[in-house]
Structure 1
Amino acid sequence: MRFVAAAMVFVFHVAMQQFFADQGAQQTLLSVFTQAGWTGVGFFFVLSGFVLTWSDRPGRPARRFWRRRFFKIYPNHLVTLVVAFVLLTWAAGVHVDGGHALLNLLLVQSWFPQLEIRASLNGVAWSLSCEMLFYLAFPLLIRPIRAIRPDRLWAWAAGVAVVIFLVPAVSSLLPREPFLPMGTNSSYDFWFIYQFPPVRMLDFVFGMILARIVMTRRRLPLDLGGSVALAVAAYALAPLFPWVYTLTAVMVVPLGLVIAAGAAAARPHPPTSLAGRVAVRLGEISFALYLWHQLVLTYGRQWLGGSQGLSTPVALGVVVLLFALTLALSWMLFTLVERPIMRRFAGPRRDRLAISEQPAAVPAGTAVGAGAGADPARADEGSTPDAPS
């Protein structure tokens, strides 16, 4: 599911970058995939709250949680930030504002309404500003959410969803100008509804509550197939809503139900199509794919002569080539940076020593969970109370 969401964001940026000279093909791409960007990011925010709650263990020190989150996020961000800086200054000859670069380095760029700050360097890293707030707040949020009585969880989830629908009304009080470069919509609306970390934390909290709903075995309104059908229908109908509601509100409940139903369907065994070796590895590299893809698309388009648009067959071939390149870079970042750093630094020293003393192979059929012998690099990444990691 994570890979599908990351691929949706990839295609969204393909549409935004005008690869196609044929305006009919370009407009078709925009009409079909503009919603994909908002949907993919929203999925990740809800999923983040769900997975962290699902894999949380009472009594775990907050500092251990924060250390794991830091080493999960920051090394990948630092690598792609440095690459973005080099490409901007060397390949594009652009002067990089030192203040903007510092805010990006510290992952606080999304707190600022100025578009030139939020989109600086590797523009997609704005979402990590939101994730950093989620992670800092999680040890404080999990206690009251754990205290909600199971029979009241759906009421709380509905309440959070209602607040998300009310956010555009609040944003209407902000200035109407400047407009976004891509249209006549207010830049302040886009920032407040879509990129402002405290507002996007509502998606995260919604995911946390949904995790408790599944963990306490409350009844879900739809199974996985029904939830996916609802999400597809909401995606198709999103253009009928005012633009400010398409950014988060329209899709948040359908996406949350897909995640909840997917987790419930994994008991006792996950669906084969979503849990095969290739599917799992694609999910593992999805974070790296998200960080790489806009850089690859932007500079790949320039270097391959697509600045004025390409014929439709050539444009399709270039997009496939750039997607393959993004996958290769993502695999390298995951294999050479993310996974080794998580194994080396993310867990307590005693856990790392235990891992180093384990046999090289585990007998087939052995379930490895989040307890003794589990890989500390994965214990917070989706291991569940009743399913193998």
Structure 2
Amino acid sequence: MSATQDNFARDNNFDALRFLGALLVFVSHATFVPTGTLWADPLYRLSNGQMTIGWIGVGMFFVISGYLITMSWERRRGILAFFQARALRIYPALIVVVLGIFLVGRLLSTDPSYFSNSSAWAYLANIVLPFVDNHLPGVFQNQPSSGVSDNFWTLRYEIGCYVLIASLGFFKVWRRDTVLVLFLLVSALFALGWPGTHNGWFDLPRYFLAGAVAYLYRDRIPWRGSLALLAFAGLTLFTFVGGMKLAFSLFGTYLTLYLAFAPWLNLRSFGKRGDFSYGLYLMGLFVQQVVQGALPRLGMVGNFVVSFPIVLTLAVLLWYAVEKPALAFKRFGRPKPSASPVVQASD
């Protein structure tokens, strides 16, 4: 494979990998919702509490996002256009899903004063900042897990990464050497275990920065199957000896992006009908919770089998009714086409 991806144009597997990431989160939640414990997740047990299957999916999301958002920033080079594109990708679907959960929550709630309960209305703050509130009064209260949108927690870190790249770009310090140093610094602090570093702000943005570094140094990184196998072996090793989250920054990033451009994978046309990954991610857990309440004896496999077709249908509807029309407005912030080919993907 070539040392760069700039010649691949639309020839990549990003859409398929995003969907895979959302699916991994969904699988992980299928173990959590019926049990209320992360230890039901096979990878969480295997790694002695380091990462769940869903965390792998989230890590893939952030690596891909770091790669593509860096590309998007370099193509636009304007803060307003950049944030317009990001807002159109994140918020239209989020607003619809939050309002939908709020309204459906009333039908499920055992609280007769649902609409007069301030905690119900507080949930709508998720429209502005995701994961401000994760519960609705009288909803899922008697289930193993009572959260209605546990999956929203990653979105605030995604938005934070957008602010980071725009801030560094505004001050003219978004260069590949600066981003590399920032990635190494955040990784070192996380590895040393300094107080306050083992939280989402030192974890998920690290994967984003890893993806950004990979894009900025794409002319120097060889993408080979042999190195991908070594990366897989390294990640497997750290699964058992510890340090898996830190290892994913390197090995997981390489594996994700290698698969994104692997010609043998041949998933280039996966997203031709639409990108349903975000809808699957946003609505997955809530639907799984509804299924758990209606059919509590299904168990983990049963919850997945029943919930997945429902969520996929809703994700398709969300894409065509909300996401795709909203993304059409991104063209107003796009630059004129460049003479040199670049990787084209949903950014």
TM-score by length of 2: 0.73
Aligned positions, number: 307
| Partner in structure 2 of residue 362 of structure 1 | none
* TM-aligned CA distance change 1:47 to 1:63, over 3 Å: same
User: 1:339 corresponds to which letter in structure 2?
Assistant: K
Contact kept? 1:46, 1:256, Cα under 8 Å: yes
Contact kept? 1:193, 1:199, Cα under 8 Å: yes
Higher relative contact order (CA 8 A, sep 6+): 2
Residue in structure 2 matching 1:336, options 300, 321, 327: 321
RMSD: 3.7
| Partner in structure 2 of residue 36 of structure 1 | 53
* TM-aligned CA distance change 1:27 to 1:122, over 3 Å: closer
Partner Cα separation in structure 2 for residue 232 and residue 330 of structure 1: 34
| Partner in structure 2 of residue 223 of structure 1 | 224
Residue in structure 2 matching 1:289, options 271, 277, 280: 280
Is residue 123 of structure 2 the alignment partner of residue 101 of structure 1?
yes
Deviations 1:162-217 (Å, cap 9, x if unpaired)? 23323x4324xxxxxxxxxxxxxxxxxxxx73434x65333322221121111xx1
User: 1:340 corresponds to which letter in structure 2?
Assistant: P
SS of match in other structure, 1:107: coil
User: 1:332 corresponds to which letter in structure 2?
Assistant: L
User: 2:158 corresponds to which letter in structure 1?
Assistant: E
Residue in structure 2 matching 1:201, options 186, 193, 205: 205
Runs of 4+ with >6 A deviation: 114-117, 153-156
Which structure 2 residue ranges, 5 or more long, are not aligned?
1-16, 137-145
SS of match in other structure, 1:275: coil
Which structure 1 residue ranges, 5 or more long, are not aligned?
172-191, 352-369, 375-383
Is residue 292 of structure 2 the alignment partner of residue 301 of structure 1?
yes
Q: Kindly state the Cα deviation for residue 131 of structure 1 after the two structures are TM-superposed.
A: 1.5
**Equivalent runs, 1:5-154 vs 2, <5 Å:** 5-18=21-34, 31=45, 35-57=52-74, 60-93=77-110, 97=119, 100-107=122-129, 109=131, 121-142=148-169, 143-146=172-175, 148=177
Q: Kindly state the Cα deviation for residue 102 of structure 1 after the two structures are TM-superposed.
A: 4.5
* TM-aligned CA distance change 1:236 to 1:82, over 3 Å: farther
**Equivalent runs, 1:347-366 vs 2, <5 Å:** 347-348=331-332
Instruction: State the percentage of identical aligned residues.
Output: 20
Q: Kindly state the Cα deviation for residue 347 of structure 1 after the two structures are TM-superposed.
A: 2.9
* TM-aligned CA distance change 1:333 to 1:99, over 3 Å: closer
Q: Kindly state the Cα deviation for residue 262 of structure 1 after the two structures are TM-superposed.
A: 4.0
